[in-house]
Amino acid sequence: MLALALAASALAFVLSAAAGLGGSLILVPALSLAYGAKEGVALAAILLAGNNIAKVVAYRRTVPIRASGGVLALSIVGSVLGAELLVRSPERVVQVAVILVIVLGFAAERLRFAFAPRLSAGGLALVAGLTSGFSGTSGPLKGLALRRLELDRMHLVGAASAVSLVNDVAKGVVYLRAGLIGGDAWVVIVACALLMPIATLVGRRINRQLGEIAYSGLFWTVMMGYTLRLLVR
């Protein structure tokens, strides 16, 4: 389990630093497989919170606090509500929720053009935070919310890092208070702490080497990955 957790974490950290998001795409299913749905979701949140600290430091000059303030605030509210719901829910319900979130994310992505005038960045952020807190992943919803801000590539990654950080910290506090993290999981947390700075630097280097078209392709590949994950569960 430790080897799986470390390998998945390293890959998730690099992808998240390069694209701005996508870490939960890898970590949630991998850690849920190793530790069960509830503890896997909780452990993923703790690891991604630590990694997002490294990302915010790395992208500190391109974190658009003013532009993304509303998304940040509503994401926190949604994440806390979703995390509290997860703590009170049976394991099987959480497993089903992870699948349903991917379906909803896919529907939101397919219908985004028809409903674009009605779905604000803040509204998407609230729903994304809620689903993230309950299932461990917000799917494409967070990405769509950030895209609505119409930021350039570097500021988009900075905003994604900041939003992911506040989400994961908010969720992590709820999960830790509920005692969802066991003894073995702490070994993974300590081991992954050493990977975070290195993986973040690698991901940032990849980001800087990508052109705008290549980055857009990476971003939407991550978004499609959230939906395709439904097929392999």
Q: How far apart are the first and last CA of the chain?
A: 19
Work out whether the CA dihedral 167, 69, 199, 216 comes out positive or negative.
positive
Per-residue pLDDT tens, the chain, 233 aa: give them: 778 888 888 888 888 888 777 787 778 878 887 888 788 888 988 998 988 898 898 888 888 888 888 888 888 898 898 888 888 887 677 667 656 665 665 565 555 544 444 457 777 788 778 777 877 766 566 777 787 788 887 888 888 888 888 888 988 898 888 888 877 788 888 888 888 999 889 988 888 888 877 776 776 666 566 555 544 44
Give me 165's structure tokens: 């950080």
Q: What angle do CA 120, 121, 125 make, to 5 degrees?
A: 120
What is the value of pTM for the model shown? 0.73
SS3 110: helix
Alpha-helical segments (H) within 178-231: 183-209, 212-228
Mention every residue, 6+ apart, whose C-beta is less than 8 A from residue 118. Answer: none
Mention every residue, 6+ apart, whose C-beta is less than 8 A from residue 195. Answer: 6, 9, 10, 13
Q: What is the DSSP letter of 111?
A: T
Rg of the chain (C-alpha set):
16
